[in-house]
Every structure is written in structure tokens, then in C-alpha cells.
Amino acid sequence: MAGTFTNTVARIGAALAIAAIPVLASAQLATAVVDLREVDRTYTAEGVVEAVRQSTVAAQVSGRIVELRVDAGQAVARGQVLARIDEREAAQAASAFEALTARAEADLANARVTYERSKRLLEQKFISQAALDKALADYKSAQAQSEAARAGALQAGAAKSHTVITAPFSGVVAERLIELGEMAAPGRPIVTLYDPKDVRVVASIPQQRLGEVRALAQASVELPGLNRWVKGKAVTVLPSADARTHTTLVRVGLPGDVRGAYPGMYARAHFAIGRATRLLIPARAIVYRSEVSGAYVVGDKGEIHFRQLRLGEAAGDEGIEVLAGVARGERVALDPVAALGQLKRGAR
């Protein structure tokens, strides 16, 4: 471990030694001026990305999974088939109820004819009122049995349709929770879907900072995994707090064109709480070497020097605050690799 640390320090020292040699910059080396700018004064909170529209699709009937058409990371459209459950048992139940319905319809037709005949016979005094009452009761019973058979047939048909599992909305499969050949049961999750076009960042804010966050209700979101900053659409403070941590959840909406953002991704929410004037340097001009950060400063005559910097807070697309290392009006190379190449050529 001591040898590795010594080698690292030696490499940094050698690089700084090379960078100390003044070399004239070529005309092609792009530069930017370090300047004071008025930017948002922010409060930064760590958070995670979550999908506004997310659903776990579960089975509604029992049966063995006989087909799986999607996997994690796959985009699906609304109504697209995700999986199929063995429908033989459901199909048999549907056929049985169809037969029961046909029999009930036949019994109902027979009971209706009997009741109509009984009414005519009672008018002719061939049967008693009691016989007519029994015919009416048989007719009503046949009606009830027919309605029950039709309801059972509809239920069996619905159960059969539930053997085909489809996507409730267009989105991306976040996770597949079952494998081919496994048994599905009512309520067992099949896949988890989310809509990538509607995502937001959720962060926990201490209650003593909520007043500042509410005052402007503006935020920018930093996505380190995508190396990208985006402007939040809206800031929503939830009307509840965690009694243990005394923090409140705050949601920051993201625009729909943030490609690559997915639920659970780490993010930083930068809430605007005022304005401040800061000395800024473009983020792409900064070089990170182990624990050392710096930039290639280009002088008035084109000479290049490597300058170690002490950095402050990030200011989004505006750049990064510089606390020490460069002065206002100095120029820095926007392409550190090209600047380093010129330094090495000059050292030779």
C-alpha cells in the first residue's frame, strides 16, 4: 500500500512539473474566461429518481406460465402481450358454463310455455289457482337459474381472458418476477412496468430548510450517472413529515426528454434559495488527478500553465465555483487533453 501511494504521489508530482513549463498555445486551443456571474444560491439534497407512473402487473387466475414475451429493459406498448397462462382449465370451465346456460335457457322456455298454458286453463276452469301459482313459481325459478348460468358463463369467460396478461400502459419493463413453467396465482407479480417519459426526483429536506425551499419553489437536478443537469418542472412539498428524522419529502418533476433516467437512480436536487455572485469556471475545463483538481491556464502571450484549484459548489450549466487558484479575467483551456499534449511536446 505504501509503494502504491508513493507511486501515485510521484506521478502527480511529475505531471505538475511538466505543467510548470510555459509553452505557447496554438490558435486551435479553445479557451474560456474565468468571470464573476450572478447565479442561484442553492441548498443541495440527495435524492433518487422515481417513476410517476409505475405498476406491478400480477396474475388474476391460477395456472402454469406457458409463454413469456418480455424481459427486463424491454420497451412495451399498451395492450401488448406480456405472458400467457395455461388456459385449458379456464377453457373447460367456460365450456361447462356454456352448457349449463343452454340447459337453463331450455328449462326457462319450457317453464314459460307451461305458465302460459296454465293461465289459459285457469280461465277455462280446468285447473285450480294453486296449480297456476306453482307454474308461476317454476317459471320464476327457471328465470333465476338462467340468469345465474349466464353470470357464471361471463365469469368463466373473464377468467379465460385473464390467462393473457397485457401491458396496462406503454413503458419499460423494470423487472420480470416470474419464469417460464412456474405456477401463477391470483396476486402473484409477473412484471413491473414504468413510464420513462414521466419521472421525478424525491429528496428528504430538513424541516428548518422548508421555508427557503418553498419561497422560490425552483430546483435543478444533477444526475451524476448521466453526467447531466436538468431544470426541474415543478417543486412539490408533501404535507407530511418523518417523525424519526424530522424531514419532509419534496418532489421535483423532470422533463420528459431525460433519456437514461430510471427509478432508483441517484440524483442531487439543487433548490434555489436566493442569488449570489460567484467566480465560475467551466466544468469541462477542470482536470481531476487523484485528489488534486486544477485547470490549464493560458496566458496573454499564449503560454500554458497547470494551476491547482480549490473548488466550491457546482452551478449547473454555468460551471463550478472557484474559491482559489485562478483570478477573474484569466483564460482556461476548454480541452485539457489538448493542452496537456502541447505541454508534453514543449517539454521535449
Residue with cell 385473464: 162
171 - beta bridge partners?
Answer: 76
DSSP structure string for 143-202: HHHHHHHHHHHHHHHHHHHTTEEE-SSSEEEEEE---TTPEE-TT-EEEEEE-TTSEEEE
Please give the pLDDT value at position 8: 42
pLDDT (tens digit per residue) in 220-249 = 898 988 888 888 888 999 999 988 999 999
3-state helix, strand, coil in the chain (%, to 5): 35, 35, 30
pLDDT at 250 over 90: yes
Per the CB < 8 A criterion, the answer to whether 4 and 303 are in contact is no
Q: Which residues contact 167 (CB under 8 A, 6 or more apart)?
A: 57, 76, 77, 78, 79, 80, 82, 193
DSSP structure string for 151-162: HHHHHHHHHHHT
Q: How many CB atoms lie within 10 A of CB 171?
A: 22
pLDDT at 22 over 60: no
What are phi and psi for residue 199, nearest 5 degrees?
-125, 165
As a whole number of angstroms, the distance between CA 151 and CA 100 comes to 11
Domain ranges of the chain: 15-52+197-347, 54-86+166-194, 88-162
Please give the pLDDT value at position 92: 73
As a whole number of angstroms, the distance between CA 122 and CA 213 comes to 86
pLDDT at 177 over 90: yes
Domain 15-52+197-347: give its CATH code: 2.40.30.170
Tell me the one-letter amino acid at 89: E
Please give the pLDDT value at position 10: 42
Long-range CB contacts (within 8 A, 24+) of 23-28? 23/303, 23/304, 23/342, 23/343, 23/345, 23/346, 23/347, 24/301, 24/302, 24/303, 24/304, 24/346, 25/298, 25/302, 25/303, 25/304, 25/333, 25/339, 25/342, 26/302, 26/342, 28/338
To the question of pTM greater than 0.75 for the whole model, the response is no
**Residue range 42-70: mean pLDDT, rounded:** 91
pLDDT at 21 over 70: no
Per the CB < 8 A criterion, the answer to whether 23 and 339 are in contact is no
Please give the pLDDT value at position 343: 66
Q: Which residue has the higher pLDDT, 5 or 229?
A: 229
Lowest mean pLDDT segment, chosen from 23-27, 280-284, 290-294, 306-310? 23-27
As a whole number of angstroms, the distance between CA 178 and CA 197 comes to 26
Q: Which residue has the higher pLDDT, 320 or 252?
A: 252
pLDDT (tens digit per residue) in 317-339 = 778 888 888 888 888 888 777 77
Overall fold of domain 88-162: Helix Hairpins (1.10.287)
pLDDT at 16 over 80: no
pLDDT at 91 over 50: yes
pLDDT at 20 over 70: no
pLDDT (tens digit per residue) in 253-264 = 998 878 888 999
DSSP structure string for 216-285: H--EEEEETTTTEEEE-S-EEE-S--BTTTTEEEEEEE--TT-TT--TT-EEEEEEEEEEEEEEEE-GGG
User: Which residue in 306, 299, 307 sits closest to 341, CA to CA?
Assistant: 306
In what helix (H) or strand (E) does residue 292 lie, and over which residues does it extend? strand 292-298
pLDDT at 79 over 90: yes
Q: Which residue has the higher pLDDT, 293 or 83?
A: 83
Which cell goes with 322? 472557484
**Residue range 34-40: mean pLDDT, rounded:** 78
Q: How many CA atoms lie within 13 A of 211 on its CB side?
A: 1
As a whole number of angstroms, the distance between CA 138 and CA 119 comes to 14
Do the domains 88-162 and 15-52+197-347 match in fold?
no
As a whole number of angstroms, the distance between CA 181 and CA 187 comes to 17
Overall fold of domain 54-86+166-194: OB fold (Dihydrolipoamide Acetyltransferase, E2P) (2.40.50)
